[in-house]
Structure 1
Amino acid sequence: MEKFLIEVSFEAGNKVGGIWTVLTSKSSYMKKEFGDNYLAIGFYNQSQAAMEFTETAPPQFIKDAIANLKLEGVKIYFGKWSSANDVNILLIDSKEFENKHINEIKTNFWNAFNIDSLNSPGDYNEPLAWSYSVGAIIEELSKTINKKLVVQVHEWLSAGSLLYLKYKKVNVPTVFTIHATVLGRAISYSGGNTNEYVMQNKDITQDMPYKYGVAAKHFTEKAGAGNATIFTAVSSVVAKEARVILGKEPDLVTINGIDTDNLPDTNSIETLRENARKKITNFLNAYFLPFYDINTNKLRIFVTSGRYEFYDKGYDIFIDALGKLDKMLTDGDSIIALIAVPTGTVGVRNDVAANYLTYIGIKSALDEDLKNFDKLVSESPDLEETTANMAYSKMINDSRKLIQQLRKNKITNPPLTPFMLSYPENNDAILNKLHENGLENTEKNHVKVIFYPKYLVVGDELLNLTYYEMLALSTAGFFISKYEPFGYTPLEAAAYMSISFTSDLSGFGQYLLNDYKNNYKGVFVEKMLGKKRDEYIAQTAKDMMKIALMGEDELLKLKISANQLANQFGWDKFLPFYIKAYDEALKRTSL
């Protein structure tokens, strides 16, 4: 009999984090594997649904299940998930159900699974009610799907669905996959060392989930791991973490891949890079030329990006290493460090906007002068040298006058961020760390920094870059996380021909060290395990220096190697581990 897979995630059709990328990147492979025997179930977010969901009439087996559902206040939408190769998806709006029944759900789960949610935060109630209602929908679908049904559940946010099935004694095999642990992330987010607990096999004391404010989420996650038919983790790092923090050894490690079938080839990436380079050159000139000269032709660009998790994502390490690099570089050597980390903003700074508009006006005028000069030369083959010199001199004089206009009354330095934050700048960890390292964008700083606190999209106020354009134009991407269960970002950077840095605390870094040994190039794994902070910051700075001074030919070789390595991480290689989990879940349920 054929398998039918239901995949449950709060991020299905709802782009809020990394699991959305996991689901969309493997969607074409899921269609090949399951065809119409695949159904995603996600959270109904009206604004997101408007962008990536097309409602259609549901097939009969879904109509029958919905008709039999006895839950008040649940709205169900069926359709195609456009961001995921139009796979079938149910989006569930459980807000009214949550308002009426959240305390009843909490009581049920306390009695059945000892989940203490008495003082849970507001961001716990919504996914709990949603996942509980998803469980009820799956219960009805299990009666109308005439195939071997398996339910894949991602993270604590969706765990309520499998707990509902367990609570109601619905005999459906479930696979629960964690991409991190709630408590592990919370410890690291607060500046602690999750790895210390894992490596030393330290006991997680009863008060720790309460201390870090994640008790309800932690206990839900723990119950999910303990009650699923099969429990999996996305890397060996998370598997070890689960053993210590959740007290449960995963049955399998199910590594996440990328959609290598739809990656652009190297020629397309080069075209993307050239177009992106033009955009960022405009921006950098507008940003720095009002204050001092900057040669954008020779610049190396270092980037980091991700959620604003200052310690987890290693932004402190990146900035401290940049501070050392700034002192190591000599005259003539410059680096642009782009920190693309979204946070609250209230708009572009007035001075930046004014400079940008002035620069665009100047550039247009100079482009017109150049156009006229080219026309004069091309249309007058017998042009006298004095006439040509006069036209050329006019163009140069106009340039000087316009630059003087641009620099009029500029007595400070370019700001570290082009945006006004929605909170006091002295409360921002990234800006404070930049100040601490003397990275102030002075003319003498060899490392120029731009903290870009907006999501990268075409049509934004300034950069006008997509995320993938940023990766393609960067010389190197630094993603030296202290807490990274796997690490999609360095893998994506490598795929777009950016030399990529990760750490041996990440799942991706550990996979390279264990499975590839030293047989890879273009991606570097910074050694942090067992080392003091000063040591790995100094090593990162040295590696930055090597890239900063490396010749173009050698850089290109590394970029090509990074791309080739990334292409070995396709879903065709890693999806079989998930299929194995589904087969094992079916086998265990039939015993």
Structure 2
Amino acid sequence: MNENNTIENEKHILTEIAWEVCNQVGGIYTVIRSKVPTMVKNWGKNYFLIGPYAPKEAATDFEEAEFGHDVIDETLRICREKGLHIKSGYWLVSGRPQTLLFDHKSSFHQLGDIKYYYWQNHGIDFKNHDPLMDEVLAFGYMVHIFLSEMTRVAIDKKIKPLAHFHEWMAGSAIPNLRRDQVPLQTVFTTHATLLGRYLAMNDPQFYDHLPFMDWHKEAVHFNVEANVKLERACVHGAHVFTTVSEVTGKECFHLLGRSPDKILPNGLNIERFSVLHEVQNLHHKYKQVLEQFIMGHFFKSYSFDLNKTLYFFTSGRFEYSNKGYDLTLEALARLNHRLKEARSPLTVVMFFITRQPIQSINPEVLNARAMLDKINTNSNAIVEQIKNRLYRQAASSKGDHKLPNLNDMVDDYWKLRHRRTIQAWKSGGLPPVVTHNLVDDANDNILNFLRTANLINHESDKVKVVYHPDFISSTNPLFGMEYDDFVRACHLGVFPSYYEPWGYTPLESLARGVASVTSDLSGFGDYMKNVSIGDKKHGMFIVKRANKSFHEAAEELTNVMWEFTQITSRERIDMRNQSEDLSEVFDWKNLYKAYENSYKMALETYF
């Protein structure tokens, strides 16, 4: 660092290690990928990403190349001579970062020794066979060797190296680096504690019980003792320990035995979402596409006014309580009752977009969409026939300028075909709640709630539900649009999580100009409480769940959704524009400073 207390990046090498580098597994993939342009801008040729070699992902997202970097090229030569299989090149994402992919499976023959020395040196027993843990340990073994050699080469060249590890799966080299006293400064970030996720899924009073939990007893109970011990070894071995939110920081103190030194909030590459304030035009464009699905799904049974319909959605992993699906469903049932009582002219369609084991798309849903497409084709043919005949008649008219009977301009063939298609499409049954045939329909939490609450798309219901247990993409025969476009078509994202260390979905919604609901138990919601423009005017609604009962939180969420249904179209347009403005707060250009401060803190131990 110089006299201005800024990092002189040309005198350092920063390696960032994550299991999700060029390997889309979970939310950390978004963190790493979206942050790349800012990291490359700040560190230039001295920034490198390290991840596991995943052949399928690498085939499309990775381009092999040599770097021409004195320290890294020399380190690669040494490591390859030692038998390590390492690919160097560029990850084909914005910023094109220099990337090293370690073929960790090529080191599986070393697993016996790796596990033995971990037990001998760190007291962690990996006796239970776990395929993922084998991959983690093999990867950590290679990272340990590489960073040890890189540090030696770098220091010989008067360059001080830094290594930033994300999560225990990438950080398994840390304990051995510290044991060997390698003069490498390390930062470790946990995005969610392994044990915390298990506990929150199984304990409705997780946050109340957290201060009194015995981490070792709970780890043994959930059969993740070795994993948690490894995570704790990473946490206590790092020079600087960080996490993504204050909410997770409290969890770390109780379950990992160390409070974070720094908080590193997650951001986005907002430029990727920027549409130069065309959010309303894009909303209108994609809402028309979404309405094609709505008509195909519902109008075969009954219809409602699409001009008075609001589209809500939630999405994410299927963690029924953690993601707040249970709270959302309870609030929807209450909202349905409230809208009925008020005789509201509005209809709310709520989408649950998640991933569940499925057998196939529900044939009834698929057929309804196909039949609507046929109606569209017939209608276009009829319009074309009328247009041509009306044009010819108008051109040849000798004085009679009245509009003729348009029915007479349609052939009986098209009249009959149109009538038969509509008759085949119309149904007396209720529109399906779920778009797919689930593997375990009888035990699905969402479906069971809807059945119990009788919220199953009756014509009288003001809240309709579409449960889509699969990804949305342009190849999806039901929607025919990308997920990003689907989000832009909606009016409100609902994400009242009970356990969410950060939570990207509400932030990504805001970046697309869509108002969002979050909770104060999510890292994002907790952070947003301290953002001056994080308010309803800017499309941000925060449901209080900390120290609240389930029913209190459900009533508050109901009030939020009710309030949203009462605002005018003009107010929604203003909110849409200002939601996009709020997302700018979370641009990596603004949040990178927190990362830089953690690196400064690590580098101070050099002096």
Q: TM-score, normalised by structure 2?
A: 0.91
The one of 124, 127, 130 equivalent to 1:121 is 130
CA contact (8 A) 1:528 1:536 kept: yes
* Structure 2 equivalent of residue 340 of structure 1: 353
Question: Number of aligned pairs?
Answer: 584
* Structure 1 equivalent of residue 191 of structure 2: 179
* Structure 2 equivalent of residue 362 of structure 1: 375
Q: Secondary structure at the match of 2:307?
A: coil
Q: Secondary structure at the match of 1:47?
A: helix
The one-letter amino acid of 1:34's match is: W
Partner Cα separation in structure 1 for residue 279 and residue 62 of structure 2: 29
Partner Cα separation in structure 2 for residue 379 and residue 297 of structure 1: 36
Q: Matches of residues 252-331 of structure 1 in structure 2 within 5 Å?
A: 252-330=262-340, 331=343
Deviating beyond 6 angstroms after TM superposition, the runs of 4 or more aligned structure 1 residues are 70-73, 392-398
Partner Cα separation in structure 1 for residue 333 and residue 112 of structure 2: 51
CA contact (8 A) 1:136 1:164 kept: no
Stretch deviating more after TM superposition (124-133 or 394-403): 394-403
* Structure 1 equivalent of residue 76 of structure 2: 66
Deviation at 1:392, TM superposition (A): 8.2
Deviation at 1:206, TM superposition (A): 2.6
Q: TM-score, normalised by structure 1?
A: 0.93
The one of 231, 234, 249 equivalent to 2:244 is 234
The one of 142, 145, 170 equivalent to 1:158 is 170
Partner Cα separation in structure 1 for residue 202 and residue 59 of structure 2: 35
The one of 483, 492, 499 equivalent to 1:476 is 492
Partner Cα separation in structure 2 for residue 189 and residue 122 of structure 1: 23
CA contact (8 A) 2:31 2:267 kept: yes
Q: Secondary structure at the match of 1:448?
A: strand
Deviation at 1:51, TM superposition (A): 2.5
Deviation at 1:273, TM superposition (A): 2.4
State, as a whole percentage, how many aligned pairs show the same letter.
28
* Structure 2 equivalent of residue 461 of structure 1: 477
* Structure 2 equivalent of residue 251 of structure 1: 261
Give yes or no for the alignment of 1:140 onto 2:145. Answer: no
Partner Cα separation in structure 1 for residue 534 and residue 14 of structure 2: 38
Partner Cα separation in structure 2 for residue 164 and residue 36 of structure 1: 27
Partner Cα separation in structure 1 for residue 562 and residue 391 of structure 2: 45
* Structure 1 equivalent of residue 424 of structure 2: 405
The one-letter amino acid of 1:299's match is: T
Deviation at 1:389, TM superposition (A): 5.6
Q: Secondary structure at the match of 2:183?
A: coil
The one-letter amino acid of 2:513's match is: M
The one-letter amino acid of 2:17's match is: V
The one of 557, 576, 580 equivalent to 2:593 is 576
The one of 492, 504, 508 equivalent to 2:508 is 492
- Give per-residue Cα distances to partners, 1:398-444, cap 9 Å, x unaligned: 7555322212xx343222222222x2211222222222222212222
Q: Secondary structure at the match of 2:117?
A: helix
The one-letter amino acid of 1:176's match is: F
* Structure 2 equivalent of residue 25 of structure 1: 34
Partner Cα separation in structure 2 for residue 335 and residue 477 of structure 1: 13
CA contact (8 A) 2:107 2:138 kept: yes
The unaligned stretches of length 5 or more in structure 2 are: 1-9
CA-atom RMSD, angstroms? 2.4
User: Residues 517 and 262 from structure 1, CA distance in 2 versus in 1: closer, same or farther, beyond 3 angstroms?
Assistant: closer
The one-letter amino acid of 1:500's match is: S
* Structure 2 equivalent of residue 214 of structure 1: 224
The unaligned stretches of length 5 or more in structure 1 are: none
The one-letter amino acid of 1:359's match is: L
Q: Secondary structure at the match of 2:386?
A: helix
- Give per-residue Cα distances to partners, 1:62-89, cap 9 Å, x unaligned: 3432332279774321111112421111
Q: Secondary structure at the match of 1:112?
A: helix
CA contact (8 A) 2:535 2:541 kept: no
CA contact (8 A) 2:385 2:410 kept: no
The one of 335, 350, 353 equivalent to 2:366 is 353
CA contact (8 A) 2:190 2:243 kept: yes
- Give per-residue Cα distances to partners, 1:303-361, cap 9 Å, x unaligned: 00011111111111111111111222235321111111012223222222222222211
Give yes or no for the alignment of 1:424 onto 2:459. Answer: no
Pick the structure with greater CA Rg: 2
The one-letter amino acid of 2:168's match is: W
Partner Cα separation in structure 2 for residue 266 and residue 400 of structure 1: 45
Partner Cα separation in structure 2 for residue 10 and residue 300 of structure 1: 39
Q: Secondary structure at the match of 2:188?
A: strand
Partner Cα separation in structure 1 for residue 474 and residue 85 of structure 2: 34
Stretch deviating more after TM superposition (454-463 or 335-344): 454-463
* Structure 1 equivalent of residue 404 of structure 2: 386
Q: Secondary structure at the match of 1:481?
A: coil
* Structure 2 equivalent of residue 510 of structure 1: 526
CA contact (8 A) 1:186 1:214 kept: no
